[in-house]
Amino acid sequence: MAFPVRRVLAPVLALAVVVGAAGCGNDPNSIAAQAKQGNDKGYRAGDGSVEQLSPGERNKPVSFKGKTLTGKAWSLDQAKGKIVVLNVWGAWCPPCQAEMPELQKAWKSFQKQGQPVMMLGLDQRDSPSRALATVKKWKVGYPSLRDDGGQILLDLQNKVVTTPTTLVLDKQHRIAARVSGQITASTLTGLVQDVLKEKS
């Protein structure tokens, strides 16, 4: 299986924090500012780089909660003991839409094999109605949380600095892998399989 170059997160954490800070505030070129403009131009997208952390290098577990696009309350506690794939996306982001069929393909594979994996989207800078229309268009079967103004992003330990970003959380809900940019089903499947092989 072809697999993108893997890099360990630890050496780039400081850089990630700096880049993350640069994407906020009043910067007209930030993701948030461009999303608010309602167009698809000039936003900062990742290059698809894959970063992994070994169990000993992972930070403390993350915790977050919110509401789904249909208004249902959801908490990470509902995925206790499961690997969680979290995809940060926006309807305004072309690579986010382009990767949705790949994410759905991976999700179907996890379900078919009966693996202890939960997939979840995290919509950013969209109204629930626009986000729902997008997931319906791409026939996405896993749930997404609605935009909450960035609170969940704050709970993700500065690991989301581009859109789209996909995180793989281990069974303890520590961040085990990150893909900054558009992802493929084979890449995501490989990352999840690596975590599944770990001893609990």
CATH number for the domain harbouring residue 51: 3.40.30.10
In this structure, is residue 121 part of a structural domain?
A: yes
In this structure, is residue 106 part of a structural domain?
A: yes
- Alpha carbon distance 146, 120 (integer Å): 11
Count of CB atoms within 10 A of residue 93's CB? 25
- Alpha carbon distance 187, 193 (integer Å): 10
In this structure, is residue 29 part of a structural domain?
A: no
In this structure, is residue 53 part of a structural domain?
A: yes
Q: Report in angstroms the alpha-carbon separations of 80 from 116, 119, 154, 171.
A: 10, 13, 21, 7
- Is residue 3 over pLDDT 90? no
Query: What pLDDT score was predicted for residue 199?
Result: 81
In this structure, is residue 26 part of a structural domain?
A: no
- Alpha carbon distance 167, 12 (integer Å): 16
- Alpha carbon distance 48, 184 (integer Å): 9
In this structure, is residue 50 part of a structural domain?
A: yes
Q: How many helices (H) and strands (E) does the chain have?
A: 6, 9
Query: What pLDDT score was predicted for residue 41?
Result: 38
- Alpha carbon distance 50, 153 (integer Å): 19
Q: What is the mean pLDDT of residues 165-172?
A: 98
Q: What angle do CA 155, 94, 117 make, to 5 degrees?
A: 45
Q: What is the mean pLDDT of residues 145-155?
A: 94
Q: What is the pLDDT of residues 15-31, one digit of tens each?
A: 333 333 323 333 333 33
In this structure, is residue 74 part of a structural domain?
A: yes
Distance of CA 176 to the CA centre of its chain: 12
Q: What is the pLDDT of residues 32-79, one digit of tens each?
A: 443 344 344 334 556 788 999 999 999 999 999 999 999 999 999 999
All residues at 6 or more sequence positions from 2 whose CB lies less than 8 Å from its CB, including other chains:
186
Question: Range of 87's domain?
Answer: 6-17+43-165+184-196
**Structural domains counted in the chain:** 1
Query: What pLDDT score was predicted for residue 48?
Result: 80
In this structure, is residue 172 part of a structural domain?
A: no
Q: What is the mean pLDDT of residues 110-131?
A: 96
Query: What pLDDT score was predicted for residue 106?
Result: 97
Q: Amino acid identity, residue 182?
A: Q
